[in-house]
Amino acid sequence: MIRKKLEMIFIAGGAGYIGSHTNKMLNKRGYETCVFDNLVYGHREFVKWGKFHEGDLAVKESIRACFKKYTIDAVMHFSAFAYVGESIKNPAKYYINNVANTLNLLEVMMEFGVSQFIFSSTCATYGIAETGKILESHPQKPINPYGRSKLMVEEILQDFEKAHGLEFVNLRYFNAAGADPESEIGEKHDPETHLIPLAIMAALGHKENIEIFGTDYPTPDGTCLRDYIHVMDLADAHIRALEHLLNKKGSNSFNLANGNGYSIREVIDSVKRVSGKDFSVNEKERRIGDPPVLVGDAGKAKKILGWEPHFRDIDSIVGTAWKWHSKKI
C-alpha cells in the first residue's frame, strides 16, 4: 500500500496485551499512533511507541480530548473486559464497558468525521461449534455475556454503517497467545486466567500447579480443544484490516485462527517441553460457559486480506511466551 502521509491511528486499549503488540507493529510499519487506555488492565510500560493518552471510554470528553489534539484517520478498538466467568457473574459490568462505552467512542468518531473502525471481536460470538472448523457464516449464538457483548457491538456497527457511513472490520479471533519475539512486551493479566502464562508460572515455580477444568469433554483426551493464534499474527491482521479500509474495500468480518486445535493437556505438555520443567496438574470440574471445541477457519482472511499466520505450531507460540516470562525474572 502506497501512502502519501502518515496516518494517525487511535488505539483504544493500546496498553493491553493485543493492543500493545499491534501498536508496536503499526509504528514499525510507519504509522503514527495515539494509545488511549485507562490502565485498569493495561500497562503504561507497554506503551513504548507512539503517543499515550490516559483516558476512559466511559467519559466522552476524555475521548474528545484525543480527537481534538490529533487528526485521527482510523480507530482500532481493543478496550474490552474479556473474562468469561466474570461476565456470567457480573453481566452489567460487561454490557456497560463493552457495549455502552463503545457507543461513546463511535459517537465521538461521528462528531469528528472519522469513519474507519477495526473491532477486536471474538470467536465467543459463535457459541457452541455446530461444525468442525468454524467459518464466518457459522450461526452466532454466544453462550455467555462476554460473547453477547461482542456480538451486540458487531450489530451496532452495521447500524452505524447504514446511518452514518461507518466502515468497519470485525476480527473474530480465537485464543490469543505468545509474546513479542523480541521480548519487549508480552502477556500480563491481573488476574491471570489464560492457560499458557499460567502453565509457565507453574514451570517457573511461581505457582504450585496448573488446573484443568473438565476432563470429560467429547474430545480425544477429554479436555477442551482450542485454536491458539500468536499475538503478532493478530497484530499483522489488524494492520491488513486497516489497509483494507484505507483502500476503500468495504466493511467485512474475518476469523483469525490457525486452524489447528490443541487440547488443554497438549498445551501443558508443550510448556513442559519448551521450558524443560515439570510441574503438577490438578483436574477439576468443568466451568460454566466453556465450549468443548473452538477451532476456526481463516480462509476468508487469507483470500481477502492476504493474511496467514506465521506461528503455526504450539511449541513456536509457547516458545515466545516462555522467552518473555523467563526474561522478567
Cell 470485525 belongs to 170
Cell 468518531 belongs to 109
Any catalytic annotation for residue 41? no
What's the chain's Rg over C-alpha atoms?
19
Q: From the candidates 31, 94, 126, 146, give the one annotated as an active-site residue.
A: 146
Residues in the chain: 329
Residue 242 grid coordinates = 486497516
Would you please indicate which residues are annotated as catalytic (active-site) residues?
146
